[in-house]
Structure 1
Amino acid sequence: MEYRIKDISLADKGKKKIEWAESHMPVLLSLMKKYEDSKPLKDVVVGGCLHVTKETAVLTKTLAAAGATVAWSGCNPLSTNDDIAASLVKDEGLSIFASRGVNNKEYYDDIYSVLKFNPDITIDDGADLTIEFHKNLDKYGKNIKGGTEETTTGVQRLKALEKNSKLGYPIVAVNDAETKHDFDNVYGTGQSALDGIIRATNVLLSGKTVVVAGYGHVGKGIASRARGFGASVIVTEIDPINALKARMDGFMVKTMQDAASAGDVFITSTGCKDVITGSHFETMKDGVILANAGHFNVEISIDDLTTISKSSKAINENVEQYILNNQKKVNLIGEGRLVNLVAAEGHPSEVMDMSFANQFLSVLNLVKNKGKFENRIYNIDKEQDLLIASLKLESMGISIDKLSESQNTYINEYGEGT
């Protein structure tokens, strides 16, 4: 067994966290129990690049229980939980290549450590593993059957690859499943992003003006939760439809240039670069807080912030305070990386239960139907979405109505009218 982690002595602490997550992930646990005897993933190597958290640990354990050989790296330099990584190595015998605080070279070295296992299946979050794999398909891709992608940013990158006819193997866009983006992105990020900001700063959100950049599923969740904390919320957007939705939902809508002077807390959630730049920093209030909830640390221009600052200092482990040339202070959380994972614990286990059930079932589907997929991006089947939602409802003790025979006839025929 190969691995690279920070400290294996942290395993006991990590194991307790994983057990906590398992108790809140009944759908994934039911799938683990269902497939642990039949081992449908026997002789299958799964190469993963995803935040090493207690929830991810349950996914890796489920894959291993189904027979897979698992090799895993982190998908963000600051999101790995070192105690979780230690437990997965010591207690589960998995090949984990991840630690918190790696530099850029170490980050990609870990990804290549996974690729050296010659994966049959890739599981990615942000597409870094998949992109590097595509650069080396001749070397590492002899067994590849397909892959999955967890997040919006990664799907966008892979769609660009597909558009240019460079996608080398089929990818399932797990992010686009309703039981993923309508829950993980909205409720998971909505809660965990604000959790990260509060843990890092202990700021009172009530009475503050929170500026949310982007009103997709992530931005919608953050805006709603910020309002629930008693904040006034301004949304910035480039999409007219999303902007209209935000206004109809009761939020103020402004350009970032106009919002810059009004906000106390800024949270980016667009998946694009340079959302907040130098001209915005210069008009901000003294003492503003900046956080990013998009996948990569490109939404807040740290280069611009550094250029117009005369100094900076660490306020605590996760907050760097920049003193601008105009004497104002700007507080950046987690180097502009994912605030919910840098400063908190990521999404609650309950929503990751559905996201990772989608991951697991998508892997099974790719393996079972190998050779039947073209080199393109696929959506989750509706039946899989409905199955996961039904299992989740069952675990919550909730029953719903079913159509009667006459109702089924009515909605599937056209004859009956007024």
Structure 2
Amino acid sequence: MLKYDIKDIKLAEKGKLRIEWAEMDMPVLRMIRDRFKKEKPLKGVKLAACLHVTTETANLMITLKEGGAELALCASNPLSTQDDVASALVKYYKIPVFAIKGEDRDTYYKHIYQALEIKPHITMDDGADLVSTLHKEKRKLLSHVLGGTEETTTGVIRLRAMADDGALKYPVIAVNDAYTKHLFDNRYGTGQSTIDGILRATNRLLAGSIFVVCGYGWCGRGVAMRAKGMGARVVVTEVDPLKALEAVMDGFDVMPIIDAAKIGDIFVTVTGNINVISENVFSKMKNGAIVANTGHFNVEIDIEGLNKLSKSKRVIREFVEEYTLKDGRRIYLLAEGRLVNLSAAEGHPAAVMDMSFANQALSAEYIFKNAKKLEKKVYSVPEEIDREIARLKLESMGIKIDKLTKEQDKYLHSWQMGT
């Protein structure tokens, strides 16, 4: 009997239609699915996935199942689950799902434990909560695991720290590091979906506002680009001098967060670090400032510090909490400080997740075929996988590119030929 824990199975029909809608914009994953269906490269593999339960993720799960894998899926964030999608995966695709939008912390971890009951050979993570739970609380299951994949920057940081400490007990492929992932998903996906989440939650006009982006990695670049495109004056805060210099050269104002706090209208954290907006920063903000996070965990915003400064709070709109400070100023926190693009909107567009999840599918296949050769460390996605995904994406778009001639190839691999 299929095990699952979802909000309402009656939502399945709506979810199925939305999964089909997303699938139309995921041609690369569709090509991989067609091959997987014929070859069954994951036959016999048990795979536990801790991912955002969205329409795009559903198409990845369907692809993996077509490849022969036995699956269990739980959410990688308490607010990112699309309940209708979870229902459709259970009812129509017979995939065990353990995820409910808005679940509390205890339920979140209970769902991770339930997904691990499959005794996975491969883990698929987004933020490394599944991997860390395995290593801390379910160590007996580690002997079954061949390897894993990790979707996001935050998770890769955690896993590299584990590897450096000698704590990582199986190889993991950092899907986030693939060019076809971070150059597109992080920049274009995060950029668009973050703005989408903020606008759905607040319905505020961005044009003319001072929009503060905390962190100028690939995700920060995307958010800054899209905010500027909407007419906002963008301010970037950074700790890395190279990224700060790049932001200046891209035409943005750069300053310390404490200075940005005094002028900003909207703040977005996207660093992967803790307390980026601290109690001290909140104390300097203008009345009416809006604060959101699009980094993986809500730790980027010091919510406990905001509570200390406040005399009251209330939910004034869906996904908007109004904190009234002791001096009367009001600060608005979006989506409880969790991923605003997935909590208040639908996450990345399917077209970019097409490449990200193509990386996931092909990396899972690679792990299963090469597990015996891999060490207990974090690997980048093999270059041949990255290039194949780019090739397939171009093919799906009807775009052709040039090839090197024999003479050109020889020149690039020779040191004898000069100017």
TM range (shorter): over 0.9
Distance 1:378 1:137 in 2: 23
Tell me by how many angstroms 1:95 deviates: 0.7
| Equivalence map 1:169-208=2 (5 Å) | 169-208=170-209
Tell me by how many angstroms 1:417 deviates: 1.7
Which residue type is aligned with residue 273 of structure 1? Answer: I
Question: 2:114 is matched with which residue?
Answer: 113
1:181-207 deviation digits (Å, cap 9, x = unpaired): 010000000110010000000000000
Distance 2:327 2:184 in 1: 42
Distance 2:127 2:270 in 1: 14
1:58-88 deviation digits (Å, cap 9, x = unpaired): 0000000001001010000000000000000
Tell me by how many angstroms 1:39 deviates: 1.0
Do the aligned partners of 1:21 and 1:54 also contact (CA within 8 Å) in 2?
yes
Distance 1:149 1:50 in 2: 10
Question: 1:323 is matched with which residue?
Answer: 324
Distance 1:56 1:313 in 2: 33
| Equivalence map 1:87-106=2 (5 Å) | 87-106=88-107
For the residue of structure 1 that corresponds to 2:52, the secondary structure is coil
Question: 1:210 is matched with which residue?
Answer: 211
Question: 1:54 is matched with which residue?
Answer: 55
Question: 1:14 is matched with which residue?
Answer: 15
Structure 2 residue 381 is the aligned partner of structure 1 residue 380: yes
1:364-410 deviation digits (Å, cap 9, x = unpaired): 00101121111111111111111100100111111111111111111
In the superposition, the TM-score normalised over structure 1's length comes to: 0.99
Question: 2:68 is matched with which residue?
Answer: 67
Tell me by how many angstroms 1:6 deviates: 0.7
Distance 1:41 1:258, change over 3 A: same
Q: Which moved more, 1:369-378 or 1:167-176?
A: 369-378
Distance 1:37 1:413 in 2: 42
Distance 2:361 2:91 in 1: 23
Runs of 4+ aligned structure 1 residues displaced above 3 Å come to none
Q: Which moved more, 1:369-378 or 1:93-102?
A: 369-378
Do the aligned partners of 2:142 and 2:169 also contact (CA within 8 Å) in 1?
no
Distance 2:296 2:309 in 1: 25
Question: 1:291 is matched with which residue?
Answer: 292
Distance 2:391 2:280 in 1: 49
Tell me by how many angstroms 1:137 deviates: 4.9
| Equivalence map 1:275-286=2 (5 Å) | 275-286=276-287
Question: 2:411 is matched with which residue?
Answer: 410
Question: 1:222 is matched with which residue?
Answer: 223
Distance 1:305 1:369 in 2: 48
Structure 2 residue 95 is the aligned partner of structure 1 residue 80: no
For the residue of structure 2 that corresponds to 1:4, the secondary structure is coil
| Equivalence map 1:262-277=2 (5 Å) | 262-277=263-278
For the residue of structure 1 that corresponds to 2:113, the secondary structure is helix
1:337-374 deviation digits (Å, cap 9, x = unpaired): 00000000000000000000000000000101121111
Which residue type is aligned with residue 341 of structure 1? Answer: L
Question: 2:335 is matched with which residue?
Answer: 334
In the superposition, the TM-score normalised over structure 2's length comes to: 0.99
| Equivalence map 1:148-163=2 (5 Å) | 148-163=149-164
Question: 2:34 is matched with which residue?
Answer: 33
For the residue of structure 1 that corresponds to 2:144, the secondary structure is coil
Question: 2:128 is matched with which residue?
Answer: 127
Distance 2:242 2:230 in 1: 26
Which residue type is aligned with residue 193 of structure 2? Answer: S
Question: 2:236 is matched with which residue?
Answer: 235
Unaligned segments of structure 2, at least 5 residues: none
Which residue type is aligned with residue 161 of structure 1? Answer: M
Aligned positions, number: 418
1:201-253 deviation digits (Å, cap 9, x = unpaired): 00000000000000000101100110000000100000010000000111000
Identity of aligned residues (%): 54
For the residue of structure 1 that corresponds to 2:388, the secondary structure is helix
Do the aligned partners of 1:118 and 1:142 also contact (CA within 8 Å) in 2?
no
Question: 1:167 is matched with which residue?
Answer: 168
For the residue of structure 2 that corresponds to 1:371, the secondary structure is helix
1:72-125 deviation digits (Å, cap 9, x = unpaired): 100000000000000000000001000101111100000000111100000000
